[in-house]
Chain A
Amino acid sequence: MDILIVLENKSGSIHRMSLEALAAGQKLASELNLSLSILAMGKNGGDLANDVSNFKADEILLLENPILDNYSSDGYSFAFTSILGQEKPKYLFMGHTYMVRDFLPRVSAKLQIPFISDVIQFNVDNDAPVFTKQVFNAKLAADIVSNSHGTTLVSFQSAAYQSDQVESGSAEIRTISIDMDASVIKTQSEEPFKEEAGGIDLTNAEIIVSIGRGIGKEENLSIVNTLVDALGAELGSSRPIVDSGWLEPSRQIGSSGQNVAPKMYLALGISGAIQHVVGMKGSKNIVAVNKDPEAPIFEIADYGIVGDILEIIPKLSEAIQAAKN
């Protein structure tokens, strides 16, 4: 087996990022003429296997084991170690999801094989893939190669490859099994829950003024509020502002906050880390102000200003007031 894609089971359906990993796997398979297998597991794994049976792959594997119906780090790291030992793929591709962050490093440890995580693309060089990942908070990129004699584990950043690029085809389902009993699970997991609803819903806002760590101090929030009022906007923020306790959690935008797509998103002193960007990149117009011309937020902005927000915010509020009168 050359490339193995494992589908992340999101309560009985396929995680979007697993299909993105599949698109990446199909690309590598065609460039290097490698075989590709897809594995479905977890609750109703059979449905997941059927869902991918129209995709281009050499085979689909189905692993049904009640111990794996609910995710646990202990269970999954054990199961993956067995599967990789049996099937011996050269590459395992998955999405860089919360679940993968949680258990896949353990498989790297158990099998002493590399895990190249949060990859944004690969290029083939000398018949081997070179993986690219963002480093230094997305300000730079690094090319990484695997030195593994066994499997190389790879996880792809959200939207690195597109799920609508998955090629169709057909493949047979092969059932596999592993030797495993419930005693491998040493931890006790309770039911997942959402924090008390309430707070502000930013998803319908037309205009969002969003602040990041560049605001410097809590006292500086007052100038931002003036701008928010002038624009009739909602106030949002990056995670560090909420972590510091300056704004309530519902104002946070990003992978662990809200997902927004306003007509205008004004990012003030936000660097543009991927976990923030996934929550706002769907905005119709992104305006970014940052003192660092290299800040990654400018990669996705429609309009950018390099400057000091502490100087720009008050002047902008005045100019907007004037323009409205």
Chain B
Amino acid sequence: MKIGVLIKQVPGGDSPLRVSSDHSWIDETSVNFETNESDSYALEEGLQLREKKGEGEVVVISMGPDGRTQKIIKEALSKGANRCIHIVEDNARETDPLQTAIIFAKALKNERFDLILSGLQSLDLGMGQTGVILGELLGMSIATLVMATELTNESIRVKRELESGWFQWVTLPLPACLSIQSGLNQPRYPSLKGIMGAKKKEIKPLSKSELFDGNEHQSITRVYSIQKAKQTEMISGDVNQQISRLVDVMKTEIKVL
């Protein structure tokens, strides 16, 4: 069983987000990058499927600039992924999901994965498309928003999240490409042994520019802060002043005390 997992580095929750001076993206200088949340769940699912099967390999695939992508790759290898393919992006970052998926499809077509897993969307752009498009380009069967998996020999049965608390089981023939929703497992932490072992694992670099066909189907023209629409009373002062005003609001304005 050969399982590919797509992971992406995105700004961590506590990172400062400032628009770059030319408004083309964010200023990344002081940003701390980490693995996109749903991608961590996708990796964990891949590792568990390999463990249940008792054989096979989990290959992590990531595109991005050198340092910060290496960081999340090493974490994935420490958690137990067998090897990695790093599509190195030096200058402009890819923001068109179709182009990203085309690049991945070219990089992966000879791998012949039985399963490809990805997080359902990235925290930065949030298009929620790359994994699905990749599955289509590689001619795999596809399911999104997966909350549970059951693997058999030729197929995989998955529980999909639908709207308003509904779910549905769908059975897909292999090879299959799944986008994973957060919460379907509890992602592991790297063990000390894992961290030591990761150093010996293969990281295959590919150059994005050699895979890129030059077509950008959609382009970001400007990034900026959102204007506030609603009038919010921001309660200022030190903590004690804030709390006494808030209690006053609860008493006299909201009337819940």
Contacts and interface: CB of A to CB of B under 8 A. Distances in A.
Dominant secondary structure at the B interface: mixed
Interface stretch (B1-9, B55-63, B66-74, B167-175): B167-175
A299 B234 contact: no
Contacts of A137: 123, 126
B143 A256 contact: no
Interface string B78-103: 00000000000000000011100100
Interface in B230-253: 230, 232-235, 239-240, 242-244, 246-247, 249-251, 253
Contact of A195 (B96, B167, B223): B167
B218 interface: yes
Interface stretch (B107-115, B134-142, B190-198, B204-212): B134-142
Interface string A296-317: 1011111111110001100110
A186 B175 CA distance: 12
Given A239-B182, A302-B232, A186 B173 contact: yes
Interface string A56-67: 000000000000
B145 interface: yes
Contact of A285 (B161, B219, B226, B254): B254
B96 A315 contact: no
Contacts of A113: 98, 217
Interface residues of B, number: 79
A132 to B, nearest CB: 9
Interface in B213-235: 215-226, 228-230, 232-235
A191 B167 CA distance: 9
B122 to A, nearest CB: 10
B35 interface: no
A279 B129 CA distance: 24
Contacts of A294: 17, 225
Nearest to B171: A188
A106 B228 contact: no
B170 A189 contact: yes
A58 B161 CA distance: 36
16 contacts: A98-B161, A106-B136, A108-B98, A115-B218, A117-B129, A135-B124, A136-B11, A136-B26, A140-B226, A144-B219, A147-B217, A187-B172, A231-B257, A242-B183, A287-B254, A320-B247
Given A108-B97, A243-B182, A311-B239, 9 more contacts: A109-B101, A115-B98, A136-B124, A139-B17, A139-B226, A140-B224, A143-B221, A187-B141, A189-B168
Interface of A: 73-74, 77, 97-99, 101-102, 105-106, 108-110, 112-118, 130, 133-148, 152, 186-195, 206-207, 213, 231, 239-240, 242-245, 255-257, 263-264, 271, 284-285, 287, 294, 296, 298-307, 311-312, 315-316, 319-320, 323-324
